[in-house]
Amino acid sequence: MENFTFHNPTRIHFGRGQIASLRQELPADARILLLAGGGSIRQNGVYDQVVKALGARTVFEFFGVEANPDFDTLMRAVEICRREQVSWILPVGGGSVLDGAKFVAAAVHFPGDPWNILAKRVRQLAHALPIGAVLTLPATGSESNGAAVISRRRTREKLAFISPDVYPRFSILDPETTFSLPPRQIANGIGDAFTHVIEQYLTYPADAAIQDRFAEGVMLTLMEVGPKTLANPADYDARANLVWAATCALNGWIGVGVPQDWATHMIGHELTALHEIDHARTLAIVLPSLLQVQRDAKRGKLLQYAERVWGLREGPPATRIDAAIAKTRAFYESLGLKTRLSDYNVGPDTAAEVARRLKARGMVKLGERGDITPEKVEEILRAAA
Ligand code: NZQ
Ligand code: ZN
């Protein structure tokens, strides 16, 4: 295991009725920007709960943050913050709204062009506004990490930034707020969280026993409660376990001291920017092919994954690896996440375009060993046709 320093500053309020804890969390004199998406929170009663908990505080509202939040939209929210001297950002929604809040919080006092936060991957954002989040979609882990992914439709880009300064100070996770999710978003959430675990686990052995067992536990939990919560969306316990699994998948715990891959995500972001495919679906397309192309480099962990996650103990190693990759693909498909580019009417030519774009961004050494070159990216996507 590598050396590490671990600090996750997000306080979590988990369970039914927890939106009321906004009352203690937000200062009485806070000037708050409530950030939201297209309106789901008005339909499912979450907005009413939030407004009630905020009481007499000064609140400005900004609705309209898109799925894959857009830079130009968010800059309008930044202007409100500057004009109204907002002191806290309160995102209420899914990963897109939370990521959008991180960007807004970082951009308000950022010197120069805020796009540089993304283009130059700025990490130190000491003047970021504090964020408190109400999460309504289990998927991204954004409620308890310092990452955000922002799109710019005008230039067809989708870039990430990571900073210790934009972790939410607190996040409220009430599983009941997620009951109104359509099956497509529940499935996306399960697939996204599963892939987050894989990206931190399926690399090479690092003798990190706790991280491995914890990662395997999160995957097994997702495999168990995922289908359950899709079949019975109002089953509180199944949903509560999905919500907490998605947080644990990307709040840092399983990733400390171990090698990480993230090539699937980097390739996936380009597919969303180019073809507007949902984030989780891009991962379902890329990951099975990536595992196939990288099977020699990932051999040790693939065999561990085959045995501990899928119970594959019999037969020659190559057969077990084939079966583990096939089961991974089948898991995505069972959730309704199609795993081929052709399922989304995208032709194989996108392979060269994605490779070219990553190269232009200097992303020429992806993966845990830096051996996923643009040529390999192309190979992976051609295998996903
Ligand atoms: O906009 P509204 O009306 O709220 O509707 C949303 C949206 O249409 C809807 N929704 C959310 N909660 C709901 C609900 N509908 C009914 N009931 C509810 N309770 O769901 C739709 C999708 O929401 P979105 O926030 O886009 O989904 P998700 O949470 O999957 O976030 C995806 C974004 O997160 C980024 C992705 O790239 C993508 O931009 N990611 C962020 C990460 C991070 N910060 O660490 C890591 C991830 O790998 C990912 O890249
Ligand atoms: Zn993801």
Q: Which of 96, 159, 283 to mutate to test the pocket of ligand 1 (most atoms within 8 A of CB)?
A: 96
Atom of ligand 1 nearest to the CA of 280: 30
Q: Note whether 159 and 210 are same-domain residues.
A: no
Q: Note whether 77 and 194 are same-domain residues.
A: no
Q: What is the pLDDT of residue 128?
A: 98
Quick one: average pLDDT of 275-298? 98
Give residue 219 CA to ligand 2 midpoint distance, Å: 14
Q: Which of 8, 48, 149 to mutate to test the pocket of ligand 1 (most atoms within 8 A of CB)?
A: 149
Q: Note whether 275 and 333 are same-domain residues.
A: yes
In-domain check, residue 128: yes
As a whole number, the mean pLDDT across the chain is: 98
> Over the stretch 171-219, which tens digit does the pLDDT of each residue have?
999 999 999 999 999 999 999 999 999 999 999 999 999 999 999 999 9
**Domain assignment of residue 241, given as a range:** 183-383
User: Which of 178, 205, 227 is the C-terminal boundary of a domain?
Assistant: 178
CA nearest ligand 1 atom 41, residue = 140
Q: Note whether 213 and 167 are same-domain residues.
A: no
Q: What is the pLDDT of residue 355?
A: 98
Instruction: Count CA within 13 A, CB hemisphere, residue 301.
Output: 28
The DSSP secondary structure of 307-339, one letter per residue, reads HHHH---SS-HHHHHHHHHHHHHHHHHHHT---
- Is the Cβ atom of 102 under 6 angstroms away from ligand 1? no
Q: What is the pLDDT of residue 82?
A: 98
CA nearest ligand 1 atom 50, residue = 149
Give residue 317 CA to ligand 1 midpoint distance, Å: 38
Residue 229 and residue 152: Cα distance in Å, rounded? 33
Q: Give 89's pLDDT tier (boundaries 50, 70, 90).
A: very high
User: Which of 161, 178, 195 is the C-terminal boundary of a domain?
Assistant: 178
Q: Note whether 237 and 351 are same-domain residues.
A: yes
In-domain check, residue 370: yes
110 contacts 102 by C-beta, under 8 angstroms: no
Residue 261 and residue 12: Cα distance in Å, rounded? 27
Q: What is the pLDDT of residue 320?
A: 98
> Over the stretch 94-130, which tens digit does the pLDDT of each residue have?
999 999 999 999 999 999 999 999 999 999 998 999 9
Residue 137 and residue 16: Cα distance in Å, rounded? 15
Quick one: average pLDDT of 254-283? 98
Q: Note whether 254 and 369 are same-domain residues.
A: yes
* Number of Cβ atoms within 10 Å of the Cβ of 63: 17
Quick one: average pLDDT of 296-309? 98
150 contacts 100 by C-beta, under 8 angstroms: yes
Give residue 10 CA to ligand 1 midpoint distance, Å: 19
Angle among Cα 119, 33, 133 to the nearest 5 degrees reads: 75
DSSP state of 192: H
Q: Note whether 154 and 222 are same-domain residues.
A: no
Q: What is the pLDDT of residue 382?
A: 98
Give residue 189 CA to ligand 2 midpoint distance, Å: 9
Q: What is the pLDDT of residue 364?
A: 98
Q: Note whether 171 and 152 are same-domain residues.
A: yes
Q: How many domains does the chain have?
A: 2
Quick one: average pLDDT of 326-347? 98
Q: Note whether 236 and 151 are same-domain residues.
A: no
H or E element in which residue 159 lies: strand 157-162
Residue 145 and residue 229: Cα distance in Å, rounded? 24
Q: Give 46's pLDDT tier (boundaries 50, 70, 90).
A: very high
pTM score: 0.98
Q: What is the CA radius of gyration of the chain?
A: 20
Quick one: average pLDDT of 264-278? 97
3-state SS track over 202-248: CCCCCCCHHHHHHHHHHHHHHHHHHHHHHHCCCCHHHHHHHHHHHHH
- Is the Cβ atom of 250 under 6 angstroms away from ligand 1? yes
Q: Note whether 169 and 306 are same-domain residues.
A: no
